[in-house]
Amino acid sequence: MVKKRIEIWEWIKALFIAIILVFIIRTFFFTPIVVDGASMEPTLQDQDRMIVTKIGEPKRFDIVVFHATKNKDYIKRVIGLPGDRIEYKDDTLYINGKPYDELYLDKYKKELEDDGPLTNSFTLKETPVGSDVVPEGHLFVMGDNRRHSTDSRNIGAIPMEKVVGTTKIVYYPIKEIKIISK
């Protein structure tokens, strides 16, 4: 009887430790997320499941998850970092006056059925950011599906404190498991 109680107590302790570890890992290091919508197509598909890493600062062209509203998280690509001048002209991204190739958009540009641009021309000042540069402590983000994405062109720069983390690992559906490169 005493031996059985000790065994039960050991199982309870092990279960308690496992629950604490899961809580710590999900709170401070990693958390799962489900892609909701088509704003990141063709890179990510609606209902893809991904792992969000909460460690480190986002870099240019990373995919980030952030709190858009109290109850809704968005997933977008970092285009501008604090102090950057962002402009789109003739479907080409310019950061601080330098043109950038966005290789992750090549497949989507080829699939366009019309001759229009994937990304309409704009300057940072013409967006809700309203200034020439991305404000300190903020990111300028855009969805890869530029024609159908609510992003910094509509909602302004994203405060760093609203960023949950970066993501690049799709783990479901199984046949779509991949690591996303820039």
Q: What is the pLDDT of residues 64-117, one digit of tens each?
A: 999 998 899 999 999 999 999 999 999 999 999 999 999 888 878 877 777 788
User: Is 72 in the active site?
Assistant: no
Whether residue 117 is preceded by a cis peptide bond, meaning omega within 30 degrees of 0, is no
Percentage of the chain surpassing pLDDT 70? Answer: 98
Catalytic option among 13, 76, 131, 149: 76
Single out the residue of 155, 81, 93, 164 nearest to residue 122, CA to CA. 93
φ/ψ of 15, rounded to 5, equals -65, -45
φ/ψ of 86, rounded to 5, equals -115, 135
Catalytic option among 3, 4, 13, 39: 39
User: Is 181 in the active site?
Assistant: no
What's the pLDDT score for residue 3?
79
What's the pLDDT score for residue 144?
93
Rounded CA-CA distance 132/178 in Å is 36
Domain range 33-179, its CATH number among 2.10.109.10, 1.10.10.10, 1.10.3720.10, 2.60.40.1180: 2.10.109.10
Confidence of residue 180 (pLDDT cuts 50, 70, 90): confident
